[in-house]
A = this chain, B = another copy of it.
Amino acid sequence: MEVTGEMLVGARAVRGTEGTIYAVNPATGEKLTPAFAGGSAKDVDAACALAKAAFDAYRATSLEQRAHFLETIAQGIVDLGDLLVERVMSESGLPRPRVEGERGRTVGQLKLFAALVREGRWLNVIVDHAMPDRKPAPRPDLRSRKIPVGPVAVFGASNFPLAFSVAGGDTASALAAGCPVVAKSHPSHLGTSELIGRVIQRAVADCGLPEGVFSLVFGEGNAVGEALVSHPAIQAVGFTGSRRGGRALVALAAAREVPIPVFAEMSSINPVFVLPGALAQKAEQMAQGLADSVTMGTGQFCTKPGIVLGMEGVAFDRFRQAAEAAIAAKSATTMLNAGIHSAYEHGVAQWAGHDKVDKLASGQEPAKSSFAGQPTLFATSAKDFLATPELMDEVFGPTSLLIACGGADDAVAIAEQLEGQLTATLHMTEEDTDLARRLLPVLERKAGRILVNGFPTGVEVCHAMVHGGPSPSTSDSRVTSVGTMAIERFLRPICYQDFPAGLLPESLQENNPLHLWRLIDGKLQQP
């Protein structure tokens, strides 16, 4: 397999006609070969028409077929070996261990969804038997299951070229649900996207599925993405990226003749509260943990701690000094692309020049030639933070803002004023329990995940994970984009009333041939 610069429209490889795009090595600024060509609305239409045509056949596949398909993709990614790892490294500036780790996560995620598909509990089978003798009126036989919503558009994210991209969580959960996927590559990692796309394309063929189950399109500007979200065949959208980008897609989807949901995971500043007991006991250890979390992946995680709140005093001074030292010791590492790098520099310059913000520390100077992000640490007071709304804006990159609170009331006031967040974190000891209990109801209203004595970077792919949160951290707080619950975004319930046995979908048949968990007349029953 090699990178050719072609889009994948169903079973075909198609060279675009709309301008030339190059991936760029952010460590060197060099253009990477080959040249990619942008797609047109016509290419999007071809991909979406194939997806629509494939939908009924794909959703009719057995659970086993669909699980095997996901596993075939997973194995195909493993089989790409160093070809993939090196392409990701050159397109993203991410170091090998991170890329290999992310590959493992991506493969594991596909396998987890394969297991989920096989188990089939997500079909949510419910049977309410007829009551022919009920008064005043008989009850019909009612059975429901979930079916996929239809073709899904997936936008690759810049910051996880594998795990949140062409075969990432959105694609894995959509394919698991039974939805064909039309993916749009992030322009920063076109070669990575093509390699992964070819793996999926081959898996579609190897598994005997209709070609429209997967397509991959490119486009540098917004036109291709807009055409995709506007296409009548597309029934839902998965997106991870900026607040501006996410909101634009949400607005576009809402303005369609038939509006569709956009599951956009956007910005978050992931507040960390370092409570007095924890400060007294482990200020230095928390400071090191914070610096590690803030600079992990050059701060380009959706869950990077962007603000850290503590109570003024000797212990918070120790914490601050330790955090300064830990940040000062950090290297400047390559950011994902020129745009992200320049936005980071701009954000840091704004804070540095802000009269309510003090710059506490900078990490090591970056080499002049690369898009490296120099870690920084800033500070402000609770009073100034509360009075300065722009300090709640995310600065994407290796920086964080320490906030000195006069007391518990300040911390609670800031928690109440926060926008919706992906995460919130408490560092505490047993003696902080009362304050934690006071903060917790507020943080539950604000965040999708709450951590104690950890750091929010590192999002486990499992059943209990919620990578979501109230607006504007995501466009829909009722769902998650990571973990098995992510499949629910792409399903809808459908009820069958008084169906003859021969016409019922297999999952709803009385003798339970698929061995599914079922809610029967209000009682959940094991297969």
Contact of A128 among B463, B472, B480 (CB under 8 A): B463
Segment from A185-193, A202-210, A486-494 that makes contact with B: A486-494
A82 beta carbon closer than 8 Å to chain B: no
In Å, the complex CA distance between A479 and B495 comes to 12
In Å, the complex CA distance between A259 and B136 comes to 43
Within 8 A of B (CB), among A444-484: 444-445, 447-454, 458, 460, 462-466, 468, 470-472, 475-480
B contact residues around A150 at 8 Å (CB): 445
Given contacts A471-B258, A503-B440, contact A477 B462 (CB under 8 A): no
Task: With CB as the reference atom, state the residue of chain B lying closest to A520.
Answer: B463
The number of residues on chain A lying at the interface, defined by a beta carbon within 8 Å of a beta carbon of chain B, is 81
A261 beta carbon closer than 8 Å to chain B: yes
Interface string of A428-454 (1 = CB under 8 A from B): 001001001100110011011111111
A195 beta carbon closer than 8 Å to chain B: no
B contact residues around A60 at 8 Å (CB): 441
CB <8 Å contact, B522 and A447: no
A497 beta carbon closer than 8 Å to chain B: yes
Q: What's the number of copies of this chain in the assembled complex?
A: 2
A485 beta carbon closer than 8 Å to chain B: yes
B contact residues around A251 at 8 Å (CB): 254
B contact residues around A420 at 8 Å (CB): 258
Rounded to whole Å, the gap between the CB of A430 and the closest CB of chain B is: 8
A54 beta carbon closer than 8 Å to chain B: no
Rounded to whole Å, the gap between the CB of A464 and the closest CB of chain B is: 4
Segment from A3-11, A139-147, A359-367 that makes contact with B: A139-147
CB <8 Å contact, A450 and B495: yes
CB <8 Å contact, B524 and A261: no
B contact residues around A526 at 8 Å (CB): 524, 526
Rounded to whole Å, the gap between the CB of A478 and the closest CB of chain B is: 5
Interface of A is mostly: mixed
Given contacts A137-B458, A454-B497, A517-B524, contact A477 B492 (CB under 8 A): yes
B contact residues around A115 at 8 Å (CB): 522
CB <8 Å contact, A463 and B522: yes
In Å, the complex CA distance between A498 and B150 comes to 37
In Å, the complex CA distance between A261 and B254 comes to 12
In Å, the complex CA distance between A519 and B524 comes to 13
Interface string of A488-524 (1 = CB under 8 A from B): 1101111111111011000000000000010100101
In Å, the complex CA distance between A136 and B108 comes to 13
CB <8 Å contact, A258 and B477: no
Rounded to whole Å, the gap between the CB of A14 and the closest CB of chain B is: 27
CB <8 Å contact, A433 and B503: yes
B contact residues around A472 at 8 Å (CB): 258
Given contacts A126-B463, A460-B128, contact A452 B142 (CB under 8 A): no
A149 beta carbon closer than 8 Å to chain B: yes
Rounded to whole Å, the gap between the CB of A243 and the closest CB of chain B is: 12
B contact residues around A142 at 8 Å (CB): 460, 462, 464-465
Given contacts A144-B464, A454-B497, A465-B142, contact A136 B449 (CB under 8 A): no
Interface string of A127-138 (1 = CB under 8 A from B): 110000000110
CB <8 Å contact, A436 and B258: no
Task: With CB as the reference atom, state the residue of chain B lying closest to A426.
Answer: B503
Task: With CB as the reference atom, state the residue of chain B lying closest to A489.
Answer: B478
A101 beta carbon closer than 8 Å to chain B: yes
CB <8 Å contact, A136 and B453: no
CB <8 Å contact, B449 and A468: no
CB <8 Å contact, A448 and B503: no
CB <8 Å contact, A250 and B258: no
CB <8 Å contact, A478 and B143: no
Contact of A139 among B450, B462, B489, B519 (CB under 8 A): B462
CB <8 Å contact, B524 and A449: no
CB <8 Å contact, A433 and B259: no
A121 beta carbon closer than 8 Å to chain B: yes
A56 beta carbon closer than 8 Å to chain B: yes
CB <8 Å contact, A259 and B464: no
For the complex of A and B, 8 pairs with smallest distance between CB atoms: A466-B495, A142-B464, A126-B464, A451-B497, A449-B495, A144-B464, A128-B462, A128-B464
10 contacts between A and B (CB under 8 A): A55-B445, A128-B460, A142-B464, A149-B478, A258-B471, A450-B499, A451-B498, A452-B497, A454-B497, A478-B488
Q: A140-B454, A478-B491 are in contact. List 10 more A-B contacts (CB 8 A).
A: A55-B445, A121-B524, A128-B464, A433-B502, A447-B494, A448-B495, A449-B496, A450-B497, A453-B498, A485-B493
